[in-house]
Amino acid sequence: MKLTVVGTGYVGLVSGACFAELGNDVICVDIDQEKIAGLKDGVMPIYEPGLKEIVDRNYEHGNLKFTTSLEAGVKESDIIFIAVGTPSQEDGGADLSAVKAVAQDIAQYINGYKIVIDKSTVPVGTGDWVEELIEQQQEADYDFDVVSCPEFLREGSAVADTMHPDRVIIGTESKKAADILDELHQPFEAPILHTDRYSAEMIKYAANAFLATKISFINEIANICERTGGDVAEVAKGIGTDHRISDKFLRAGVGFGGACFPKDTKAITKTAQERGYDFKVVNSVVEANKLQKQTLVKKLKREVPNLAGQTISVLGLAFKPNTDDMREAPSRTIIKQLLEAGAQVKAYDPIAMEEAQGIFADDIQYCKNAYDAIEDTAAVILVTEWDEFQDLDLDRVAELLTNPIFIDGRNCYDVEEMKKRGFTYYSVGRPAVNNRELAATQEVATTE
């Protein structure tokens, strides 16, 4: 089939490349000339495992094209995906100006029956005004359908998620569009759910809000475990074996970040509020997540009450492993807290260093590896659970630190192991190990 994907961000570029990989003719359109020129030269605008291979292969093969011309994209394809950004506005609502601009262009260049698909995460009802806008602004009277097909890919595993989705949602009342889209999605071999457009739009928000709720829920259980005793990982395993709950998305940590959960949880509460409804559960999820991002520095302050003049190492800057994305990353809150308290920061991330320089500029020191970051610092805070941090030589880490204080925001290490190696070790929802207190008690015991 002939497809156009407008927007070459995570959703657009990955979807476009995957549809091309499945044998379709795909045109990817973006207004950013530099991005398009880069893509033609094999330069990926995002870091995503496996993406470059399929982009290069299909581009060379000629069934994946890149252009800044939406006119060509609209005229040459039968199916047009709108996959542009819908960033948060100050009031928490989604900024839909890019969606509107694309809809206007589609109206201008439409030259026959088209299926226009909203792939971006857009508030319920967006499909209605996209349809109205095209209807009103097109000069001729071409038939078209506006369909909502939300995307559920995760960054870091975007290609695999797109190729093997849990389900495909097709939100339309048009049988013609539904049949064509059924055929387009057959090769994914995933269940296809047909529904109305409003429900499809809501499914995306409800899915993200629900997953975010699981994370905030387990983070709060972790905070309570720290006060009562118990181990949150054991609790997660214990509740996760109940099929109604499932053990997925129950890893306690330093709070969720990224381009989707923070934005979409705020957007759904805003939509509810505009309709006169207070979405209490998700409001609390947002609030709990904000507080969770602050917990690591609070733990650090128990050991180093005055951070002024101290140097602290931060391991991991991306909001999660296998991406260089730092949007709403917990590392940003943590580094801000440290700097405000007068500390200096030495940081390292395997992929996100360039991204970080654009954010922190000269405010922090950028290191070439984890050991370099840890050397001569008063404590280390681990924020992102990259594989390479799980294999650190812990004896070397202890030696490099001026104090063996380790604050682990992702429960990467075994508590007993850290205790044995002499660390003062705080993780999330597990017993804290304070070897310094232990040493003090032992001294008292010996003296007595």
Q: Which residues are at the interface with ligand UDX (CB under 6 A)?
A: 151-155, 208, 211, 215, 249-251, 253, 256-258, 260-261, 319-320
Which residues sit opposite 191 in a β-bridge?
Answer: none
In the residue annotation, 412 being an active-site residue is answered as no
Min CB(305)–ligand UDX separation in Å? 28
Q: Is 30 annotated as a binding residue?
A: yes
What count of other Cβ atoms lies within 10 Å of the Cβ of residue 222?
Answer: 25
Which of 149, 260, 367, 412 is catalytic? The answer is: 260
Select 208 or 295, whichever has its Cβ closest to ligand UDX: 208
Report, in Å, the least distance between residue 421 CB and ligand UDX: 26
To ligand UDX, the closest distance from the beta carbon of 320 in angstroms equals: 4
> Would you say 23 is a known binding-site residue?
no
Tell me the closest approach of the beta carbon of residue 242 to ligand UDX, in angstroms: 16
Which residue number, 162 or 424, has a Cβ lying nearer to ligand UDX? 162
* C-alpha pair distances (Å), 421 with each of 172, 273, 395, 418: 59, 51, 7, 5
CB of 249 to ligand UDX, least distance (A): 4
**Residue 65 vs 320, nearer CB to ligand UDX:** 320
Give CA angle at 344 (366, 338), nearest 5°: 105
Beta-strand relationship, 25-29 and 2-6: parallel
Report how far residue 372's alpha carbon sits from residue 293's, in angstroms, rounded to the nearest whole number.
Answer: 25
Residue number, 79 or 215, with CB nearest to ligand UDX:
215
Q: Is 242 annotated as a binding residue?
A: no
Q: Which residue is nearest to ligand UDX (CB)?
A: 260
In the complex, least distance from residue 261 CB atom to ligand UDX, rounded to whole angstroms: 5
Residue 148 or 208 having the CB closest to ligand UDX: 208
Q: Is 227 within any annotated ligand binding site?
A: no
Going by C-alpha positions, the residue among 432, 313, 438 that lies closest to residue 379 is 313
Quote the CA–CA distance of 166 and 94 in Å, as a whole number: 26
Q: Is 64 annotated as a binding residue?
A: no
Structure tokens at 28: 């990817």
| Shortest Cβ 256–ligand UDX spacing (Å) | 3
320 assigned ligand-binding residue: yes
Does 249 show up as a binding residue in the annotation? yes
Q: Is 252 annotated as a binding residue?
A: yes
Q: Which is nearer to ligand UDX, 256 or 366 (CB)?
A: 256
Comparing CB distances to ligand UDX, the nearer of 70 and 428 is: 428
269 in a labelled binding site: no
Give per-residue burial for 279-311: e unless 16+ CB within 10 Å, then b: beebeebbebbeebbebbbebbeebbeebeebb
The distance in angstroms from the start CA to the end CA of the chain is: 83
Q: Residues comprising the binding site?
A: 30, 35, 86, 121, 152-155, 204, 249-253, 257, 263, 320, 327
Hey, which residues are catalytic here?
Answer: 260
Q: Residues comprising the binding site for substrate?
A: 152-155, 204, 249-253, 257, 320
Q: Residues comprising the binding site for NAD(+)?
A: 30, 35, 86, 121, 155, 263, 327
